[in-house]
């Protein structure tokens, strides 16, 4: 076992879980044993919440300009340990080193944004009548929780950690039990950056710990990122317990390719979008609607996809079940009459036979009612549907229940504008394969890709992680007696 058994991080230190339940952590790259992760019980959550509640009064009263100093130092530590942190992400998730490094660079950008919060979080003040002023300020909520998925072991936690903490909250992070290693280093580096004990805690576990978070009377807000099935469960349970909740779910992102799209640029973007992080991105292109005569572009996509090689510039999918599920989708589409132009089934990487790889897969002739057209596959697979008009393409895009991302590839500004206005997705791209908004713009889908109000990152996160206090002040005796008295 490469790393010692993982422990929870509570009140500034690592503590063993007492539940007696644990799981092995295996690298998808080669099947090697990395560590074990405890599946904690409610006692561990109790200790973490107690530590966070104890830390909250002092942390929330620390001026925000002081709080963000921790994140200036933390950003420097992320830069200093970039290689080590990227390697950890690569090992536990199975993505390539370059992808893991890009993930860590995004963590740095998210931390940078948090250091700018003092500039953005100022309240308002107005003399509402003679000698009387009203002011508003953003007040932290208290103890909050963040529940995260396997596909970005460090980036998705950084969607919530820097902003929630810089805004004065104390947090319990529940990492994915499939990728629990990075969170320990995040906790250590935050401590090294000067974060007081108890402000950030990590409790590992599975379903039961998520349920305990949703039920806990002293947790004020829950952010969740994961599949739509679980997002629904968490949103319903947390809000039924009167908590604030933002739950991001799965996706089925459509790229609409017009005949006038630039062939090389489009093909490179489509191939990169479908296969980046082995297709395990909630922003990955999973369906392509080819409008009109675009055979020449489809052919270029296949050529580009052939350059993506498992074990070289394509990482592994998370586990054996995932590999089997993805391959089942391809087999089923083929049996239903779709044409597999490039087949990634049965990929094996020499010397890493226990790794779980799927090669890039391009499926043409997909009908909109097939499972590969409607369901989230979460693998390096693109399903191509054909339409005659852009309206038919939009009809397919609009009919899918998700709404994370949609993109159009065209050189025609009018067509681009037409699609931008009509796509039913929270994040829309024009000639962009993965239209993730950069900071300070916020990240968040629509429809069944997100339950709750607002977005998780950027300026929008301020509304989620704080409550507004409205104060009316009268110092001036001349203000007299009026309806506000
Ligand atoms: P998942 O829903 O299986 O797990 C997410 C978290 O929920 C994990 O921490 C897990 O321990 C917990 N969990 C799992 N089952 C549970 C249950 N029944 N009750 C309570 N908690 C439970 O998701 P995953 O497989 O880890 O991640 C992949 C999914 O996440 C994909 O659907 C992907 O699209 C989605 N995702 C979405 C976004 C977004 O921004 N919308 C970003 C990243 C990933």
Q: Looking at the domain 254-430, which fold is it?
A: Aldehyde Dehydrogenase; Chain A, domain 2 (3.40.309)
Using one digit for the tens of pLDDT, what is the confidence trace for 206-225?
A: 999 999 999 999 999 999 99
Cα 148 from chain centroid? 8
Q: Give the residue whose CA is nearest to atom 26 of ligand 1.
A: 149
Q: Long-range CB contacts (< 8 A, 24+ apart) of 232-236? A: 232/451, 234/147, 234/210, 235/451, 235/452
**CA of residue 375 to ligand 1 center, whole Å:** 15
402 lines ligand 1 (CB under 6 A): no
| Ligand 1 atom with the shortest distance to the CA of 174 | 9
3-state DSSP assignment of residue 242: coil
Mean pLDDT across 227-233: 98
pLDDT at 485 over 80: no
Give the Cα separation of 286 and 300 in Å (integer): 17
CA angle 23, 29, 32 (to 5 degrees): 50
Domains 8-250+445-471 and 254-430 share a fold: no
Q: Is 282 a catalytic residue?
A: yes
pLDDT tens for 413-457 read 999 999 999 999 999 999 999 999 999 999 999 999 999 999 999
Is residue 203 in contact with ligand 1, taking CB distance under 6 Å? Answer: no
The class level of CATH for 8-250+445-471 reads: alpha beta
Instruction: For residue 234, give the ligand 1 atom closest to its CA.
Output: 20
* Annotated active-site residue in 107, 214, 245, 282: 282
Would strands 466-474 and 132-140 be described as parallel, antiparallel, or unpaired? antiparallel
Atom 9 in ligand 1: residue holding the nearest Cα: 176
Predicted confidence band of residue 196 (pLDDT cuts 50, 70, 90): very high
Q: Cβ(153) to ligand 1 under 6 A?
A: no
Per residue in 56-114, pLDDT (tens digit) is 999 999 999 999 999 999 999 999 999 999 999 999 999 999 999 999 999 999 999 99
Annotated domain spans of the chain: 8-250+445-471, 254-430
Task: Please choose from 227, 435, 443 the residue to mutate so as to test ligand 1's pocket, defined by most ligand atoms within 8 A of CB.
Answer: 227
Structure tokens at 345: 């089934």
Q: At a CB cut-off of 8 Å and minimum separation 6, what does 435 contact?
A: 283, 405, 407, 427, 428, 429
In this prediction, residue 208 carries a pLDDT of 96
* Model confidence at 130: pLDDT above 90: no
The token pair at 1 is 């076992």
User: Nearest 5°: CA angle at 150, between 406 and 453?
Assistant: 50
Q: What is the separation of C-alpha 472 from the centre of its chain, rounded to a whole number of angstroms?
A: 39
Locus of tokens 């700018």: 116
Distance, in Å, from the CA atom of 153 to the CA atom of 370, rounded to the nearest integer, reads 31
Output the CA 429–ligand 1 centroid distance in Å.
Answer: 24
Q: Is 157 in the pocket of ligand 1 (CB under 6 A)?
A: no
364-399 pLDDT per residue, tens: 999 999 999 999 999 999 999 999 999 999 999 999
Pocket of ligand 1 contains residue 103 by CB under 6 Å: no
Using pLDDT thresholds of 50, 70 and 90, give the confidence band for residue 40. very high
Task: Kindly state the percentage of the chain with pLDDT values over 90.
Answer: 96
């Amino acid at each position: 076992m490469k790393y010692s058994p993982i422990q929870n991080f509570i009140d500034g230190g690592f503590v063993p879980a007492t539940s007696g339940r644990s799981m092995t952590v295996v690298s998808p790259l080669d099947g090697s044993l990395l560590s074990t992760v405890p599946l904690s019980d409610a006692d561990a959550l109790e200790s973490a919440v107690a530590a966070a509640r104890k830390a909250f009064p002092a942390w929330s009263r620390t001026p925000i300009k002081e709080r963000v100093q921790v994140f200036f130092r933390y950003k420097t530590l992320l830069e200093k340990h970039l290689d080590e942190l990227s390697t950890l992400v690569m090992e536990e998730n199975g993505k390539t080193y370059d992808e893991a490094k890009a993930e860590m660079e995004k963590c740095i950008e998210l931390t940078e944004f948090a250091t700018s919060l003092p500039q953005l979080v100022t309240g308002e003040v107005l003399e509402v009548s003679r000698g009387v002023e009203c002011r508003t300020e953003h007040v932290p909520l208290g103890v909050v929780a963040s529940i995260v998925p396997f596909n970005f072991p460090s980036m998705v936690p950084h969607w919530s950690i820097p902003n929630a903490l810089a805004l004065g909250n104390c947090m319990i992070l529940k990492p994915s039990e499939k990728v629990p290693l990075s969170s320990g280093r995040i906790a250590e580096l935050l401590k090294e950056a000067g974060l007081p004990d108890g402000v950030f805690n990590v409790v590992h576990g599975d379903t039961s710990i998520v349920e305990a978070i949703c039920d806990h009377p002293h947790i004020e807000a829950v952010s969740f990122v994961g599949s739509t099935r679980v997002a629904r469960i968490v949103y319903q349970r947390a809000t039924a317990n009167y908590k604030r909740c933002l739950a991001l779910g799965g996706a089925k992102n459509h790229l609409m390719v017009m005949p006038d799209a630039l062939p090389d640029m489009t093909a490179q973007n489509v191939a990169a979008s479908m296969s980046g992080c082995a297709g395990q991105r909630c922003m990955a292109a999973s369906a392509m609607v080819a409008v009109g005569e675009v055979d020449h572009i489809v052919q270029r996509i296949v050529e580009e996809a052939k350059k993506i090689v498992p074990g070289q510039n394509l990482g592994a999918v998370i586990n054996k079940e995932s590999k089997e599920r993805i391959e089942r989708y391809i087999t089923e589409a083929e049996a239903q009459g779709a044409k597999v132009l490039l087949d990634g089934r049965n990929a094996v990487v020499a010397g890493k036979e226990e790794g779980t790889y799927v090669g890039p897969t391009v499926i043409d002739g997909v009908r909109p009612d097939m499972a590969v057209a409607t369901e989230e596959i979460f693998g390096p697979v693109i399903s191509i549907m054909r339409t005659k008009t852009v309206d038919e393409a939009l009809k397919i895009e609009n009919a899918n229940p998700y709404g994370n991302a949609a993109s159009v590839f065209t050189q025609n500004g009018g067509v681009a504008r037409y699609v931008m206005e009509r796509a039913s997705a929270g994040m829309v791209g024009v000639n962009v394969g993965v239209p993730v908004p950069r900071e300070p713009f916020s990240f968040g889908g629509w429809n069944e890709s997100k339950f709750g109000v607002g977005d998780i990152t950027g300026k929008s996160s301020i509304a989620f992680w704080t409550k507004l206090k409205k104060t009316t002040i009268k110092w001036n005796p001349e203000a007299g007696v009026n309806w506000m008295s």
